Amino acid sequence: MPKLSIRKSSGQFAELPLLHARYSVGRSADNDIVLEGAGVSRHHCALERDGEGYQIRDLGSHNGVYLNGRSVQQARLRENDEIRIGNAILVYGPASDLTSTVTFEEDYDQVVASIRSGAQTPPGAAGEELAGDRRTLSLLCDLSFGLSTVTSLDEVARKAIEILLETTRAERGAIFLLDGEPGALRPIMVCERGESRRDLEPVALSSTIARRILTERKGLITADAAADPRFAHGESVVLHGLRSVCCAPLVGKGGNLGALYLENNRVLGAFDSDDLRLLCAVASQIALSVENARFFEALKRSNEELERLVEERTAALRETELRLYQSEKISSLSRA
């Protein structure tokens, strides 16, 4: 079974086993393999099965497909062939040495600490890195503004996921909170593009992924969960055909609260390292908002309980006063 090693212009690296008869490649989100950056057309090229191997075919792209440095319209691929599409490099080869590089991880605490400390991008950083930093800061500002007046847990969840769906290639997003039994995660909100409600089909968060992000406090992305040796045998991964996944823990002052989760089951490699850092940053704000929302909900319940007790005491006092009045009136009549 052949594989494709992909190094995107963002620096993300993934190795994907080629299992299907055809893979579309391009900038548009409806491709099987999504590539960003200058020089990539919306539907750039296709990999098509040819006997036991594959061939590559240009789909009328503006900047062409380069195979080992030579422009081609269509060509059969051989072991270690290098394909250049825009600034992305794809290498075709056997899958015998497939590793876990389909997964990229970031330490959650380090990411959040660097953002909170206002860490600057190093001098000489590439334009794409600077653009990624600006994107993260812009989204965090939007999120802070959007959540500044939100006290309901449902509102917090819906607003945060909707913003993430607008700025990533995710098809669906969800927020899970730890519930009762240790390690048990309950979805409090599931959103799809254009939809945000509780009654959508449940998101299948892999228990293997959940354990990893919660126990190790790591945010992670996988370009193809079904091909990732760490997760490929998970029941939910197999049953629901999970592909591109991006996930980060929700960590509050008292410890783990849950998980923030994005998925795209149509596209391989839909998320990159910038998306993961963004998700970790957003997760830290959501965790704070979740704790605030819980505080306000607890305060509201306490106030409601206090009001109920006051009403009961007031009613009891009025009843006592009425009985006292009636008793005094009867006594007055009897004396007369």
> Which of residues 277 and 175 earns the better pLDDT score?
175
**Contact assessment for residue 32 and residue 169, using Cβ atoms and an 8 Å cutoff:** no
| Domain co-membership, 60 together with 113 | no
| Domain co-membership, 142 together with 282 | yes
pLDDT digits (tens, 9 = 90+) for 241-294: 677 888 999 998 888 899 999 988 877 777 877 788 888 888 888 888 788 777
Among candidate residues 242, 271, 234, the one with its CA nearest the CA of residue 105: 271
Please state, rounded to an integer, the average pLDDT across all residues of the chain: 77
* 169 in any annotated domain: yes
> So what's the pLDDT on residue 4?
84
Q: Encode 83-110: b = buried (16+ Cβ within 10 Å), e = exposed.
A: bbbbbbbbbbbeeeebeeebbbbbebee
Query: How many domains are there within the chain?
Result: 2
Please return the burial class of 288, using the count of CB atoms within 10 Å of its CB with bins 0-12, 13-18 and 19+: middle
pLDDT tops 70 at residue 150: no
pLDDT digits (tens, 9 = 90+) for 287-323: 887 887 778 778 888 999 999 999 999 988 988 888 8
| Domain co-membership, 236 together with 153 | yes
The domain containing residue 76 runs over which residues? 3-92
> So what's the pLDDT on residue 102?
46
**Which band of pLDDT confidence, cut at 50, 70 and 90, is reported for residue 135?**
low
pLDDT digits (tens, 9 = 90+) for 177-224: 887 666 678 888 888 876 655 555 566 677 777 888 888 888 888 877
Among candidate residues 216, 275, 217, 284, the one with its CA nearest the CA of residue 245: 275
| Domain co-membership, 70 together with 112 | no
pLDDT digits (tens, 9 = 90+) for 5-60: 887 665 556 677 787 889 999 988 788 888 877 899 999 999 999 888 899 999 99
| Domain co-membership, 187 together with 226 | yes
> So what's the pLDDT on residue 297?
79
**Which band of pLDDT confidence, cut at 50, 70 and 90, is reported for residue 101?**
very low
Q: Which two structure tokens, joined as six digits, stand for 214? A: 């919660």
